[in-house]
């Protein structure tokens, strides 16, 4: 039962957080999670590349996940996005960049 409540709480958090993301992230997340439209269709609708729509969804999900982990209320996400990164966050970002370059073979 706790797992179900946790899932419902996360979905509620996502819905409450969407308006506080960047305008582009908000639009794509509304179409993806509220309207249930695929990223391929979203890309067509917004006249952007499918890859771009997918990246926007991934970034928005990452922002929301990090905000949940940090205990930030959805209404505070905009301020959270504008704050400077901590040294730990910078290091994690650097590690992620290296990991992605290894995966891509760059």
Tens digits of residue pLDDT in 9-32: 777 888 888 888 888 989 999 999
| pLDDT for res 41 | 96
Helix H segments across 18-104?
23-29, 39-46, 50-70, 77-82, 87-104
55/50 Cα distance (integer angstroms): 9
Domain CATH for 54: 1.10.10.10
Q: How many folded domains does the chain comprise?
A: 1
What range does the domain containing 92 cover?
2-104
| pLDDT for res 49 | 94
pLDDT digits (tens, 9 = 90+) for 52-86: 999 999 988 888 888 888 888 888 777 666 656 67
């Amino acid at each position: 039962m706790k797992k179900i409540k946790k899932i419902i709480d996360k979905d509620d958090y996502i819905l409450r957080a969407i308006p506080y993301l960047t305008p582009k992230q908000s639009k794509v997340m509304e179409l993806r999670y509220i309207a249930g439209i695929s990223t391929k269709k979203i890309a067509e609708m917004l006249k952007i590349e499918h890859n771009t729509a997918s990246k926007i969804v991934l970034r928005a999900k990452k922002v929301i996940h990090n905000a949940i982990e940090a205990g930030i209320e959805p209404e505070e996400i905009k301020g959270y996005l504008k704050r400077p990164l901590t040294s730990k966050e910078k290091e994690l970002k650097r590690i992620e960049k290296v990991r992605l370059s290894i995966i891509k073979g760059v």
